[in-house]
A and B are shown apart, each in its own frame.
Chain A
């Protein structure tokens, strides 16, 4: 604000300078007339006094007149300058107001754009979230289905394995019972010669297979 009114300071400086010059001029005129008056007093004291009074009055009158002229001129110039400064201030104020308006307008636009951007971003975010949620739900559903199917498959496999193992156990028991029965029967029924024949057959087979070399 101070930078916008440098002329006002200059104006007051000019006034001070003019008043100073006027004071110097009045002082110089006073000393000149005082010297004249001293000389006249020496030559003709009465006349000198009258003459001096007359001239002093004239000088004072002229000085006052000149000072008034200077003051009037200074006032005029000051008024002109003040009006000019006032006009410039008004222009600056108007420009500042306009600038503030433009700033406000830009702020409003920026707010609008930001709001739209935020809205868009929020909308996209919700869309992405929805998509991800949908995908996640689908994936979870697929995984759950796959897990259930896998579990069913494993269970079926386990049941089959259990069935197979139980059947193998039953088969083993049947064979064990058969062996025991045959053992009991053969122990009573097989003759020594038959046993010897079986031994010879085994030895022959071992030789044929080259198990014994």
Chain B
């Protein structure tokens, strides 16, 4: 049941921070529904039907543990991406690396364009800045040739 709930949470969620936020909101909603004033277990949505007063805390603890177990890919963007673009990136990542893949978005304006990635604590730059650095000698040679003429 936990995996089913987790899949539902991650279905439209692509970053770990967002997943944890969503989990917290859902937990508050479930607890309110189950333990609040006028709570009625029979009058719940499909999602909340997975929970009752006995398992609600245990399931949410397990879900949080599961989400925190997933290693997110950190992506440095050169500017702040909109939610729509981040969703596109998340979907693209899911298509490449699996249905529960998560990422974390960061901003580094020095990248110019493209992205830099951090995976398992290793940083790799795929940005235009890195491309310029990789081709520095060629660029300088071209510039020197231009200065000579």
Contacts and interface: CB of A to CB of B under 8 A. Distances in A.
Contacts of B129: 179
Contacts of B96: 203-204, 207
Given A171-B136, A192-B85, A199 B115 contact: yes
Interface of A: 171, 174-175, 178-179, 182-183, 186-187, 190, 192, 194-196, 198-207, 211-212
B133 A196 contact: no
Contacts of B24: none
Given A207-B96, A211-B119, A178 B132 contact: yes
Contact of B143 (A174, A183, A195, A198): A174
A197 B117 CA distance: 16
Nearest to A195: B113
A195 B80 CA distance: 12
Contacts of A203: 89, 92-93, 96, 115, 117
A204 B92 CA distance: 10
B73 interface: yes
Contact of A175 (B73, B97, B124, B133): B133
Interface residues of B, number: 32
B112 A202 contact: no
Max chain B Cβ within 10 angstroms of own Cβ: one of A178, A203, A204: A203
B88 interface: yes
A212 to B, nearest CB: 5
Max chain B Cβ within 10 angstroms of own Cβ: one of A192, A200, A206, A207: A206
A206 B128 contact: no
Given A174-B143, A175-B133, A212-B119, A206 B124 contact: yes
Contacts of B83: none
Given A171-B140, A178-B139, A206-B119, 4 more contacts: A179-B129, A196-B85, A199-B77, A201-B114
Contact of A211 (B124, B132, B133, B140): B124
Given A207-B97, A211-B124, A198 B114 contact: yes
A174 B117 contact: no
A148 to B, nearest CB: 36
Max chain B Cβ within 10 angstroms of own Cβ: one of A179, A194, A204: A179
A199 B117 contact: no
